[in-house]
């Protein structure tokens, strides 16, 4: 059985991420690294993060995006 895959344009995908309530509130959002690669590509995603002044980390196949300009410090 084949998997139905719906793709949306990269600009709409980015708009959905950064218009979420968490992003608008300056909190964090999480996305699959696989989705980032598939929908927009890492280089374009990194450019968008820099343009917005945001940071992100990758762990276990997930991208955690800090939707603010505060410094990110590792806790442990």
Check residue 7 and give its pLDDT: 80
Q: What pTM was estimated for this model as a whole?
A: 0.87
Strand ranges (E), 1-76: 28-32, 55-59, 62-66
Check residue 1 and give its pLDDT: 59
Question: Domain boundaries in the chain?
Answer: 10-66
Q: Nearest 5°: CA angle at 12, between 47 and 45?
A: 20
Check residue 2 and give its pLDDT: 63
Q: Nearest 5°: CA angle at 10, between 4 and 16?
A: 90
Query: How high is the mean pLDDT in each 10-residue block of the chain (76 residues)?
Result: 75 95 97 96 97 97 98 92
């Amino acid at each position: 059985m084949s998997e139905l895959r719906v793709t949306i344009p990269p600009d709409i995908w980015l708009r959905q991420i950064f218009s979420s309530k968490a992003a608008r509130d300056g909190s964090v959002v999480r996305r699959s690294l696989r989705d980032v690669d598939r929908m927009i590509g890492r280089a374009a995603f990194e450019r968008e993060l820099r343009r917005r002044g945001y940071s992100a980390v990758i762990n276990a196949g997930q991208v955690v995006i800090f939707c603010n300009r505060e410094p990110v410090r590792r806790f442990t």
